[in-house]
Amino acid sequence: MGKWFAKFLKSNGYSVIISDSNERFGKRFCRSYGIDFMDDWSAAVQRADVILLATPTNQTSSILRQLLLEISRKTLIVEISSVKGPVQDIINDIRKRNLHVLSLHPMFGPGTNSVRDRTILVMTRPRHAEAKRLLSVLQKRGARIIACPIKKHDVLVSVVIALPHLMNISLIETLRELRVNFAKVAAISGPTFKLQSILAEAIYQEDPANEISILADSKRSVLKAYAQRIATILDIIDHNPNCLVDVLDQGRRLVERDKGYKKSYEKFNAAVEVALR
């Protein structure tokens, strides 16, 4: 997401400096987009009014603590980690020191071309001019800015990100266990598997470190609930498959609450048409 934000900010009038531990990659990227690169991250921090961290979640907390030794009271820190539990204490510490931290979670990946109709969760919104400016720019470009209490964030994200990722990794692991030729199955599949396989393939293109963080830092209760429901449904299939009617009826009552439910099959077919092009 660091590349995405660098390009987005530069295209919206910000002067951008990048500092990255992978200097070769960072310098090559900066040359491609006309962005300044600094080897010394501490010097880069001293020059910046806004510091945006795009770092692995398991490193963000320690980096934030290092920043406390470097920044002035006028500096805004923006952190975009996908899991907030590991950084919650340091975020609270920063706020207690009357320093400024804008905690965001963009609910999209770096392959996104536009923020239009994309959701960005906001956990902390400091009274800082640069925080207001950044959120305003995102909104003007069509992003949906939604407040989310930091204590509730990880459960919600475990449901909407970790759970689908686990489901698709489980699918691929099952096929691997069965020694199924994925390419051949995908080639002859119907629309349901076709869309599912595209989602699975996209997940496997994620940065492994980010994927590990999504699953390892997710709420165990959410993933365990998934495993328990799978076991329950398998038991029903084995012993009383007619009871699946009750399972499906209860699930239908849940999904019918979605305003787009009645158009879901239409959207499904439209997505299949796009996928087959």
| 39 CA to centre of own chain | 28
Rounded to an integer, what distance in angstroms lies between the CA atom of residue 86 and that of residue 50? 22
Residue 37 forms beta bridges with which residues?
18
Residue corresponding to tokens 């699930």:
251
Predicted local confidence at residue 175, as pLDDT: 93
Predicted local confidence at residue 2, as pLDDT: 85
Closest by CA to 214, choosing from 173, 152, 175, 169, is: 169
How are beta strands 119-124 and 100-106 bridged, if at all? antiparallel
Chunked mean pLDDT (size 10), the chain, 277 residues = 89 88 84 86 85 85 86 89 87 88 90 90 92 94 93 90 93 94 87 89 84 82 93 95 94 92 88 77
| Torsion region of 43: left, alpha or beta (phi above 0 gives left; psi -120 to 50 gives alpha) | alpha
Contact residues for 115 (Cβ-Cβ < 8 A; gap 6+): 8, 108, 138, 141, 142, 143
| Torsion region of 76: left, alpha or beta (phi above 0 gives left; psi -120 to 50 gives alpha) | beta
Rounded to an integer, what distance in angstroms lies between the CA atom of residue 104 and that of residue 119? 10
Asked whether the beta carbons of 57 and 82 are under 8 A apart, the reply is yes
Rounded to an integer, what distance in angstroms lies between the CA atom of residue 218 and that of residue 157? 8
Closest by CA to 168, choosing from 190, 191, 195, 207, is: 195
